[in-house]
Structure 1
């Protein structure tokens, strides 16, 4: 694991906690984004635990687009702010609050390292609500592949953007939940999305969903 934070005492505390945890090893640490990118490329950690305000956004984008196998878990002070929205756009594997209990942080790291995404149902609801209120800074995003979606895939993506679960989408479209999952997996593959939260962001910022039509 690579730990990235510009506060020496906080970073040292994280490193000590992680190294004392079975099955976790810190292979490097960085105090700035440029160093983080270099270490991610050379050390190839499974997880990069990164403070998003470093500037972590630029470093996150470079790590995600570099082909590094590292999955980035964002550390943030606020659970939904402009930095988090941008991190979602860029493909962060999840985020955790800096004031979280150690057990919560360790669980998030374990989940991300095993390939899971750390965006819980509460975060998803708040993310959708923020778009409905117009709280999210405007940042149009039209990903390559959007025009390649079938009508059904676009409809599934639109409904994901409104915050519906797979079960609710299945009921609305009168199909099985398995069919919804299949369509959503195809959407994620075609658009190169890495999480349901990222799909919500894309659905709104591409104009596929608007606050007026979200209901």
Structure 2
């Protein structure tokens, strides 16, 4: 029979030890009295009484009080209930350790994937910056060539109407190309900024995963001695 006052929340190790000590202690029953003969006469026993010593086990034929049996049954029921609770807690702890082990095995590949993504994005950022420098150099070369062509044309004889129209067309073409190049530069700069933002987010996420991995590894049991 389980004591209704016992519940899982208030149970602790001290209660468990007290119950075990109580059950292991010897049961001392009330001292039995015996009537013995003070002489060897055949006239019947004497009225003198001798008190016997206490025994850890009840003497044969001596009844056990019902309160002792009820108390023992209650204590035994409480111990069985606490044992079931303890076994359930052990199973929950084991399940938690297994879950931590699975989580750790899943985190390692994810950290490796994130690191590879960061490495690829860093390479792409380097390539974009290199391309920006090349475009700027090409733009400056085109501007210099345009100025040289204009200067050379001025040193020659006065051009005709067709030549002037052709030069004007070249100037407009160069201006259009320059404008497109500037747009490309702006788009590349925007892409670089976005990639840098993504790299920062990925790095933060990777650091968080490494911290979580460290915590989980500390929670796992060590190798057996």
TM-score normalised by L of structure 1: 0.15
Tell me which of the two structures has the higher relative contact order, counting C-alpha pairs closer than 8 angstroms and 6 or more residues apart.
2
TM-score normalised by L of structure 2: 0.15
Higher percent of residues as strand: 1
Instruction: Point out the structure with max Rg over C-alpha.
Output: 2
